[in-house]
Amino acid sequence: MTCTSGGCGCGSNCNNQEFSELAPVMDKYAKVPGSIITILQKAQDIYGYLSFDAILYISECTGIKPAKIYGIATFYTQFRLKPIGKNLIMLCKGTACHVNGADMIEEAIFEELAITDGETTEDGLFTLNNMACLGCCSLAPVMMIKNADGDETYGSLTKDSVRSTLREIRSKA
């Protein structure tokens, strides 16, 4: 992909209309050494994931080869290369949650939504991501659900409470 509109200020002629929301980020960071992770984080915040076209756009603006950007994006677990559901379920799998039944909670999510770690429901409503730790050990087992309204943390989970929460979210969609 070659950007033809120009004007982002990075000198690479990379102001593509498809990525107009990312242009201010590129203005600020494209030529700042060591800023690729910041750029990828902001791109993911804007678009929800890092598409192949976004990686090519970032490459054009920064001068960093797409393969290197892809390598960075696949190395760090914070980055997603596929779209996520409207509700991102982050299930804690840290020690306290594991000991208190995180596997049982994951099983309930699978039974209710038919997805496993990293998958999205067919209707695009939910994505499940297992996390190393959410830092809410006193609430173990715990999950956080992130959506357009913000983040909500659910603690002291049981299979029934998880099912109820997921059904409630689905009914509001």
Look at strands 87-92 and 126-131 and give their pairing: parallel
pLDDT higher than 70, residue 128: yes
Percent over 70 (pLDDT), the chain: 91
Going from the C-alpha of 118 to that of each of 25, 46, 66, 84, 126, the distances in angstroms are 27, 20, 23, 9, 10
* Secondary structure of residue 162 in the 3-state scheme: helix
Identify whether the C-beta of residue 100 lies closer than 8 Å to the C-beta of residue 106: no
Q: Using alpha carbons, select from 94, 17, 88, 110 the residue that is nearest to residue 57.
A: 17
Q: What is the pTM of this model?
A: 0.74
**Which residues in the chain are classed under CATH 3.40.30.10?**
87-172
Look at domain 87-172 and name its CATH class. alpha beta
Structure token digits, residue 162: 């998880």
pLDDT of residue 33: 95
- With H, G, I as helix, E, B as strand and everything else as coil, classify residue 138: helix
Rounded alpha-carbon distances, angstroms, from residue 105 to 3, 21, 47, 139: 46, 37, 29, 13
